[in-house]
Amino acid sequence: MNPQASASTAWAKIQGMINGAIVMLPNIVLAIIVFALFYFAAKTIKKVVKRLTRKYRHARNLGLVLGRLSQGIVLLVGLFVALSIVIPSFKAGDLIQLLGISGVAIGFAFRDILQNFLAGILILLSEPFRINDQIVFQDFEGTVENIQTRATTIKTYDGRRIVIPNSELFTNSVVVNTAFESRRLQYDIGIGYGDDIDWAKKLILEAMHSVDCVLKDPAPDAIVVALAESTVNIRARWWIKPPRRADAMDIQDKVLTAIKNKLTANGVDLPFPTQQILFHDQTEETDGDRSRQREGWPAGKAEVPSPRSIGGSLRKLAQMRSSLQGADERSPRDGNGSDRPHNANADNQN
């Protein structure tokens, strides 16, 4: 093959491509302009829809959905129009047919993305929570910043951003702390077993009523919830409004401070965890007799000996040691101070 002829053929093809591009250049510029117009129109439609629904709280998420869907539809129409201008033989039906053929493959390849997309649409429509709500999801807690079609972002109370896929939020339990206007808080306070429970509950209620941020209706209350190892646990419960995290922490600080000061000022004990250890002397004659065991053992209606204190046990031990030492001193010893055994045979011989 002649190299010169090959070069001429290649150059002719290049010139043909350049001439074709020059011929299509006006169509390309027009297609870009048309797509740009559709792009700005889509953004404008999205803003208008959001602005119309911004005044109604229950329609805000619906406005986000409609705005994003309208923007996507307008952009898709603009793309079809631009392609028709650049390629006059192009038909939208051909693209739709191609998408229909490859839809199954695309669905398997982008299953997670489509699942998150549909979950995001359902979350925006059903509104289990809204933007600026404070939620708890598994180990994450914070304020909802944005609900996108793929994921939801929350800002934690320590200033971090968490991105959670919408499919997980839609299929798992979510706690919404700000779903209602008011919220109840509670805290367990332990008092001593020797304190008057009714008197302590009255003091706790007075302390909660003294805090201005605690709601009067529903009224706060105090109930006994447990007889613990070292304390009688009383649960203080009060309602706050609004139920946001910062307000809850601030009011809890005031309530607990007031309760602690009120109880200590009136002599109510707030004991530390303590344990009572019972010593059982296994050398006693009553050992093993269930009817005569000491405290800590069931005795029924039988006689129960009085419990012995640690001091009494130590005194008895000292007396036992003293008696043993006295017996040793009274035993016979030889001239060297050692014990001399008694030889009965030697006495008989003498």
For residue 4, pLDDT beyond 90? no
Q: How confident is the model at residue 320 (pLDDT cuts 50, 70, 90)?
A: confident
Mean pLDDT of 56-73: 72
User: Distance between CA atoms of 197 and 190, rounded to whole angstroms?
Assistant: 11
Mean pLDDT of 39-61: 76
Q: What's the pTM value of the predicted model, to 2 decimals?
A: 0.59
pLDDT at residue 104, rounded to an integer: 58
Residues contacting 291, CB < 8 A, separation 6+: 299, 300, 302, 303
For residue 298, pLDDT beyond 70? no
For residue 162, pLDDT beyond 80? yes
User: Cα Rg for the chain, rounded, in angstroms?
Assistant: 44
pLDDT at residue 112, rounded to an integer: 79
Tokens at residue 26, please? 């006006």
For residue 192, pLDDT beyond 80? yes
Q: How confident is the model at residue 347 (pLDDT cuts 50, 70, 90)?
A: very low
pLDDT at residue 302, rounded to an integer: 56
Mean pLDDT of 130-158: 90
User: Distance between CA atoms of 37 and 42, rounded to whole angstroms?
Assistant: 9
User: Distance between CA atoms of 35 and 20, rounded to whole angstroms?
Assistant: 22
For residue 348, pLDDT beyond 60? no
What percent of the chain has a predicted confidence (pLDDT) above 70? 69
For residue 349, pLDDT beyond 50? no
For residue 97, pLDDT beyond 80? no
Mean pLDDT of 90-103: 59
Domains in the chain with CATH codes: 18-109 (1.10.287), 128-176 (2.30.30.60), 183-265 (3.30.70.100), 276-320 (no CATH)
User: Distance between CA atoms of 34 and 143, rounded to whole angstroms?
Assistant: 41
For residue 70, pLDDT beyond 50? yes
Q: Distance between the two ends of the chain, CA-based, in angstroms?
A: 150
pLDDT at residue 344, rounded to an integer: 44
Mean pLDDT of 144-155: 88
User: Distance between CA atoms of 132 and 145, rounded to whole angstroms?
Assistant: 6
pLDDT at residue 125, rounded to an integer: 78
Edge-to-edge, what's the strand order for the sheet holding 134-137? 161-165, 151-156, 140-147, 134-137, 175-176
Higher-confidence residue: 207 or 21?
Answer: 207
